[in-house]
């Protein structure tokens, strides 16, 4: 990474400080969008508006399942894609001096859970003790704000990146990754990808994930002769027990990828949804469990899908399940794990920028969750990693992000862009 001119560095950091209120207002503006699966349109529109306000020319990148169906990174969709096109923008320099980069973030958020457990309503941003609370504040609307404001600060100093800088706001990071895949396929191949997912850490590896739905059909009878029937809910429960055995097997030390050597429990099986039954006095005929199964890097998600099918077929041999039927559907994540080598130039540049701003070293992080970063190394040969603000309660109750940490992330990203892409005088005053 080339050193950033000290005068430019000072001016950029000062511009970020000046823009703190604007950054926080932008975060609140984004948190107000209830951008759950299928409801991302207004947030995407707002991201397009923000890109326009920042002197960029945003364009839409649709997810076309037919075109992507044969791609190994494609996940079976949960819902149709009409009206939910990703938003992207590309800055092109007058003269290319440095390396190109994509800054990417997702607009989708996970459901808020039991709203009555929240201290303040999940989609009404609230600032308490230097933190902004709201679903998506940390994961990862603060990340979107940071890269937009890093760009704004560079431009406010009369400068611009001296290499192609791409921006993308994508859908479905939380359930398929198909938004990010469509963007990667549509945009010119960048030299690196940085995703400001939450965490003041250097992401070095992440697991893969398979979403599976186990549909159990029992044998319905009246409760008075329930011994003659098979209760689909009880049968589903017995099958679920098999998944917990599978989970402990998969976490055996000898099956662990070296990047996860220090983890006691990298592979998690989560039963996320359960539905079933028809009537309190009838033995239920059908039950459906939606689950998320972790995949160790190096192992194919398709192999895990086959293991899930085998596990369910074997479970039916249990005498308690005699007469029951079960099948598995795969919708949502069909994602491989990925490794982001800490010695790759992007990660080194990030570590250097973080040290420049904070004076501290960045600790390495292997995550038992997954991000959209996987697509770039797995399918494009592009280095990628994640780094972002300190957040709490993501996917839980009272999600929050430290605002000071968001501003710090903005500073780090601005210096990363300045060093990675190089700087030149802005093309036109804006």
The residues of the shown chain that bind Zn ion, judged by CB under 5 A, are 139-140, 197
Inter-axis angle of helices 403-421 and 6-18, to 10 degrees?
A: 150
Q: Compute the least distance from the CB of residue 10 to Zn ion, in Å.
A: 32
Q: Compute the least distance from the CB of residue 140 to Zn ion, in Å.
A: 4
> Considering beta carbons, is residue 136 or 377 the nearer one to Zn ion?
136
Distance separating alpha carbons of residues 161 and 425, to the nearest angstrom: 9
Q: Compute the least distance from the CB of residue 387 to Zn ion, in Å.
A: 12
Distance separating alpha carbons of residues 416 and 68, to the nearest angstrom: 32
Q: Compute the least distance from the CB of residue 365 to Zn ion, in Å.
A: 14
> Considering beta carbons, is residue 19 or 170 the nearer one to Zn ion?
170
> Considering beta carbons, is residue 98 or 198 the nearer one to Zn ion?
198
Peptide bond into 140 cis (omega under 30): yes
> Considering beta carbons, is residue 215 or 401 the nearer one to Zn ion?
401
Q: Compute the least distance from the CB of residue 211 to Zn ion, in Å.
A: 16
> Considering beta carbons, is residue 308 or 370 the nearer one to Zn ion?
370
Q: Compute the least distance from the CB of residue 144 to Zn ion, in Å.
A: 11
Q: Which residues pair with 245 in a beta bridge?
A: none
Residue 165: Cβ within 10 Å count: 26
Task: Please check whether residue 46 is in contact with residue 149, taking contact to mean a CB–CB distance below 8 angstroms.
Answer: no
Q: Compute the least distance from the CB of residue 48 to Zn ion, in Å.
A: 20
> Considering beta carbons, is residue 140 or 321 the nearer one to Zn ion?
140
Task: Write the CB contacts of 220 (distance below 8 Å, at least 6 apart in sequence).
Answer: 229, 282, 283, 284, 285
Max CA pair span of the chain = 83
Distances from the Cα of 305 to the Cαs of 209, 210, 251, 294, 344, in angstroms? 10, 7, 17, 11, 31
E strand segments, 308-363: 325-329, 334-335, 338-339
| Closest CB to Zn ion: residue number | 139
> Considering beta carbons, is residue 24 or 139 the nearer one to Zn ion?
139
Q: Compute the least distance from the CB of residue 253 to Zn ion, in Å.
A: 29
E strand segments, 107-191: 126-128, 131-133, 159-161, 165-170
Task: Please check whether residue 162 is in contact with residue 423, taking contact to mean a CB–CB distance below 8 angstroms.
Answer: yes
Backbone angles phi, psi at 402, to 5 degrees: -75, 125
> Considering beta carbons, is residue 139 or 390 the nearer one to Zn ion?
139
């Amino acid at each position: 990474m080339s050193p950033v001119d000290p005068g430019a560095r000072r001016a950029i950091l000062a511009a970020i400080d000046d823009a703190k209120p604007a950054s926080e207002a932008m975060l609140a503006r984004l948190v107000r969008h209830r951008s759950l699966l299928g409801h991302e349109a207004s947030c995407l529109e707002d991201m397009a508006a923000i890109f326009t306000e920042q002197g960029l020319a945003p364009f839409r990148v649709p997810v076309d399942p037919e075109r992507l169906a044969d791609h190994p990174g494609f996940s079976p969709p949960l819902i149709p894609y009409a009206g939910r096109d990703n938003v992207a923008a590309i800055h092109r320099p007058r003269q290319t001096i440095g390396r190109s980069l994509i800054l990417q973030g997702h607009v989708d958020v996970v459901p808020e859970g039991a709203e009555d457990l929240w201290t303040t309503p999940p989609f009404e941003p609230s600032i308490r003790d230097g933190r902004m609370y709201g679903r998506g504040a940390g994961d990862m609307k603060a990340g979107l704000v940071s890269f937009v404001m890093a760009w704004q600060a560079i431009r406010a100093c009369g400068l611009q990146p001296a290499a192609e800088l791409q921006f993308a706001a994508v859908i479905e990071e939380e359930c398929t990754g198909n938004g990010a895949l469509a963007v990667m396929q549509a945009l010119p191949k960048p030299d690196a990808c940085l995703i400001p997912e939450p965490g003041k850490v250097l992401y070095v590896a992440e697991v893969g994930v398979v979403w599976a739905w186990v549909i159990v059909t029992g044998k319905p009878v009246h409760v008075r002769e329930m011994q003659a029937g098979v209760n689909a809910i009880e049968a589903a429960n017995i099958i679920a027990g098999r998944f917990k055995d599978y989970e402990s097997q998969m976490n055996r030390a000898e099956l662990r990828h070296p990047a996860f050597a220090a983890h006691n429990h990298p592979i998690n099986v989560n039963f996320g949804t359960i539905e079933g039954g028809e009537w309190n006095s009838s033995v239920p005929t059908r039950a459906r469990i939606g689950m998320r199964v972790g995949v160790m890097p190096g192992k194919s998600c398709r192999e895990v899908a086959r293991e899930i099918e085998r596990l369910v077929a074997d479970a039916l041999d249990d005498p308690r399940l005699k007469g029951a039927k079960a099948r598995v559907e795969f919708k949502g994540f069909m994602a491989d794990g990925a490794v982001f080598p800490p010695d790759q130039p992007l990660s080194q540049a990030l570590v250097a920028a973080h040290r420049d701003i904070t004076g501290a070293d960045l600790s390495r992080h292997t995550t038992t969750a997954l991000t959209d970063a996987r697509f770039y190394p797995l399918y494009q040969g592009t280095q990628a990693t994640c780094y972002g603000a300190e957040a709490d309660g993501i996917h839980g109750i009272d999600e929050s992000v430290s605002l000071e940490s968001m501003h710090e992330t903005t500073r780090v990203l601005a210096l990363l862009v300045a060093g990675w892409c190089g700087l030149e005088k802005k093309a036109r005053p804006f």
